[in-house]
Amino acid sequence: MNIAVLTDPFIKPLYVARVRYLCDYLSKQGHVVEVFSEFVETIDFNHSYNLTTWRYVNSRLEWGAKSALSLLSDHKNRWFANKVISNVKHQPDVVIASTSFTFPLPAAYIVAQHFKSKLVVDLRDIAEQAPNQLIAHQNIFLKPLIPLYRNINIKRRNRVLLKADAITTVSPWHQTFLKQFNSNTHLIYNGYDESEFFPNPVVTDKFHVLYAGRIYDKSVTNPELFFQALKIIKELDLMPDLVVDFYSDVNGLHILRNYAQRYDVENLIICHDYVMRSDMNKLYNTSSVVLVFSNQSNSTTSHGIMTTKFFEALGAKRPILVVRSDEDCLESLVNQTNAGCAAKTVENVIHFLEQNYAIRNHNSYTIQNNFSDDFTRANQIQKFLQIMSNL
């Protein structure tokens, strides 16, 4: 099968992991895969398929002009579609468009129409999953345009969804929401590569609690409950060997330091820069508990956020503490896989940490006997293949 994949830009640290694993696997299975994206930063990951990127803007002035043009006439998608059509080496049987908002869905539709190909849309995120996320903008002059930009792009997205041959997405909430546009909508969770993430516990002299990843708006990732528990743990001296390791970007570490200062637990945390992806499995296995920050799902917060870090920790069989529980898709998956604890109260957090602290003191390490096999990347990608075969 000849497959053209159009996706939004590859950006550190994950470089759109879902797309990379999909394309690598399809390529190794003998399919001809060509990937097209916008150039934003240098790509330094290995890949076994043809990958072509183009820079859309070269300056702030050009960005302003082209943003206005794209808002009025969808210039960026038309530009990108023409680039892809001119550079495809093998006429595609299937066009896959994977994105976390709208671009490049309209471009993919144009390409699929041009080559008379089937169109599969893979939505990793949608605007409606976190209503407040796209409203914030540092430039006060642009803030009034954000709702307009959001609404226009949602309408453009929905037009493509109605015409797609199939849709795939990442959580039950997303699947239910998207089925209103296209009944042929399938759930394919993010997974983990079993060759990269596997249990290999490392004995350490401290009880390490790990968080690795970005910190988003409080409506999506709310660490407050964890820090409230940490303050009590410190005051009662419940876990003398506890250390919390945070690996995030500059903004994320700044937010976490502020929380630590507010709750007077600065001596319990250590802040680190991101590590190489090849070092992540060792990092998981060095940790006694892995944190996943979330928030309760409701009309003003978020829905269906299924971070890749959850699945990686699942593969390494680490005890996972989701805090605060979304009381929705993520909590259901924690329970379904026996991954750990989706905490709703400070007491939940402390109890789960105490349990694993005792296990670590007894065995010198922790391990979670979860049900992770269904969430390997290989299994997830077989589902993509089945959908494409059915078309």
Residue 337: give its domain's CATH number: 3.40.50.2000
In this structure, the answer to whether residues 19 and 153 fall within a common structural domain is yes
- Residues 27, 42 within the same domain: yes
Give the number of domains in the chain: 2
Does the residue 202 lie in any domain? no
Place of tokens 């997205």: 157
Whether residue 197 is contained in a domain is answered as no
For residues 258 and 315, state if they share a domain: yes
199 within some domain? no
Co-location of 145 and 263 in the same domain: no
Domain span holding position 135 = 2-191+376-390
pLDDT tens-place values along the chain, 391 residues long: 999 999 999 988 778 989 999 999 999 999 999 999 999 998 888 888 999 999 999 888 898 899 888 888 999 999 999 999 999 999 999 999 999 989 999 999 999 999 999 999 999 999 899 766 544 444 555 567 778 888 999 999 999 999 999 999 999 999 999 999 999 999 999 999 999 999 999 999 999 999 999 898 888 889 999 999 999 999 999 999 999 999 999 999 999 999 999 999 999 999 999 888 889 999 999 999 999 999 999 877 788 888 899 999 999 999 999 999 999 999 999 999 999 999 999 999 999 999 999 999 999 999 999 999 999 999 999 999 999 999 9
What φ, ψ does residue 102 adopt, rounded to 5°? -125, -55
| Residues 274 and 356 placed together within one structural domain of the fold | yes
Q: Is residue 198 part of a domain?
A: no
- Are residues 289 and 328 located together in one domain of the fold? yes
Question: How confident is the model at residue 13, as a pLDDT?
Answer: 75
Say whether both 26 and 171 belong to one domain: yes
Q: How far is CA 244 from CA 37, 267, 269, 289, in A?
A: 37, 9, 5, 9
CA dist., res. 159 & res. 153, Å (int): 10
Residue linked to tokens 């070269």: 58
pLDDT of residue 187: 97
Specify if 200 maps to a domain: no
Same domain, residue pair 98 and 8: yes
> Which pLDDT score is estimated for 78?
97
CA distance linking residue 262 with residue 256, whole number of Å: 10
Residues 127 and 94 in one domain: yes
pLDDT tens for each residue of 89-99: 999 999 999 99
- 284: exposed, middle or buried (Cβ count in 10 Å: 0-12, 13-18, 19+): buried
| Whether residues 163 and 222 fall in one domain | no
Give the per-residue pLDDT at 276.
Answer: 85
Whether residue 158 is found in the same domain as residue 265: no
Q: Is the domain of 151 the same as that of 174?
A: yes
Is 304 within the bounds of a domain?
yes
Q: What does the pLDDT read at residue 143?
A: 65
